[in-house]
Every structure is written in C-alpha cells, then in structure tokens.
C-alpha cells in the first residue's frame, strides 16, 4: 500500500467518515488535485457495514458530534494514520485501548489552509514511514560489530578507499578505523584448532 499518485501505483487512498459535506467536499477536491483516491462515508452509511479501515492509507474521522462507539463502527484503525476532527471545546475523545496522544487532531473550526496543511503533513508522514519500512535494513540477530563494520566499509568505499577521509566523515581518528578493521579481520578468520 503506497501513497504514490494514481498515475503510478494504486493507492490505498483516504477514508473520510462524517456528515459535514462542506468540509469533506474541500478535502475531496484537494485529494483529487493530488491524484489521491478518497472515499467518503456518512455515519449513517456505516450502519450495518463493517469497514476495512486498515485498507486505507489515511482516515479522517469527524468527531465534532460526540460518537463514543466510533472505533467499534470503523473496526481496527492505526492511530498513526488517523486524523480526528474535534470541536475546540472538546474535552476528551473516546480512543478505546489507544492512548489519546497516539492520534492526530484537527480542532474545528479552522481555516481551509490550516485544515489542508494538516492533511498534507499527515500524508507526507505516511509516505516517509512507508519509505522507511521498504528501505529498512534487516537487523534481526546481527551483532553490533557487523553493523558497525558495514557502515565503516561503505564509508571507506564512498571515500575512494581513503581511510583518513572516511575517518573524518565518521568523526573518529584514522587509527581507530585501522584497529577496528584489524579486529574484524581476526574475527572473520577461521579459528584453527591446535592440538597440544
């Protein structure tokens, strides 16, 4: 599920839940201009339907009218990808098992520019999180010295094999890199069993 435009890969899009057609019309028009698909569902439209909220990249939920069972109506949601629209006077929102601070909030009323700025920022955060997940190095079960070695060797290659340049870039002395490389070579050398 990627947040690229619909010109490229298909997006999970944005699910908009609530009854304020003016606010959601503004958001839908902006999403269309960004080539991001969206689906708007009213609270009444959710009745009798189990939404697959996790199928969307971002969920915008209008909670300006208190809705204590909103989580049950939507099904499982990821707080990091959920924006809750609340009134400025709202004291507390029911967030189920999730801590309230796990969600993003937009206090309404607010200007159109502020509203769209929050949406854009949230979409950018989702893109960054997805890019990090795709580019993440597999670290399971690897000792720290192997990770350190990988970083040092890559930096040396980027510095055209110059250990002093790599040391400057890494913020250590060249002798530190020489010692570390020597220790790594010893670790990688096969152990000889010597019988006495």
> 21-37: per-residue pLDDT in tens?
888 888 888 888 888 88
Percent of residues, the chain, with pLDDT higher than 70 = 76
Q: What is the pLDDT of residues 62-106, one digit of tens each?
A: 888 777 777 777 777 777 777 777 776 666 677 777 777 777 788
117: Cβ–Cβ under 8 A, 6 or more apart, which residues?
Answer: none
Model pLDDT, residue 37: 85
pTM of the model: 0.55
Query: What tokens does 1 get?
Result: 């599920």
Are 7 and 63 in contact by the 8 Å Cβ rule? The answer is no
The answer as to CATH 1.10.10 being correct for domain 144-188 is yes
The answer as to CATH 3.30.70.100 being correct for domain 14-135 is no
DSSP letter (8 states) at residue 68: T
Stretch 170-182: mean pLDDT: 91
Give the span between the Cα atoms of 56 and 58, in whole angstroms.
Answer: 6
Place of tokens 């958001």: 27
Give the span between the Cα atoms of 182 and 141, in whole angstroms.
Answer: 23
93: Cβ–Cβ under 8 A, 6 or more apart, which residues?
Answer: 63, 84, 86, 100, 103
Domain with CATH 3.40.50.2300 in the chain: 14-135
Give the span between the Cα atoms of 83 and 61, in whole angstroms.
Answer: 6
Q: Where are the alpha helices (DSSP H) in 47-173?
A: 70-74, 112-135, 144-158, 163-170
What band does 134 get if pLDDT is binned at 50, 70 and 90?
Answer: low
Domain with CATH 1.10.10 in the chain: 144-188
Select from 102, 111, 117 the least CA-distant residue to 23. 111
How many residues in total does the chain contain? Answer: 196
């Amino acid at each position: 599920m990627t947040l690229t435009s619909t010109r490229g890969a298909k997006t999970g899009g944005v699910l908009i839940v609530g009854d304020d057609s003016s606010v959601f019309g503004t958001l839908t028009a902006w999403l269309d201009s960004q080539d991001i698909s969206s689906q708007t569902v009213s609270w009444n439209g959710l009745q009798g339907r189990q939404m697959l909220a996790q199928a969307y990249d971002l969920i915008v939920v209008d909670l300006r009218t208190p809705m204590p069972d909103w989580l049950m109506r939507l099904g499982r949601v990821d707080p990091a990808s959920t924006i809750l629209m609340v009134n400025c006077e709202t004291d507390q929102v029911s967030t189920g098992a999730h801590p309230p601070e796990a969600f993003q909030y937009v206090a309404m009323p607010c200007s159109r520019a502020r509203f769209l700025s929050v949406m854009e920022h949230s979409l950018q955060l989702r893109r960054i999180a997805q890019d990090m997940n795709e580019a993440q190095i597999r670290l399971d079960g690897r000792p720290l010295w192997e990770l350190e070695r990988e970083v040092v060797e890559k930096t040396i290659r980027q510095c055209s094999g110059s250990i002093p340049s790599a040391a400057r870039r890494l913020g250590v002395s060249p002798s530190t890199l020489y010692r570390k490389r020597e220790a790594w070579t010893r670790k990688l050398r096969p152990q000889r069993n010597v019988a006495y």
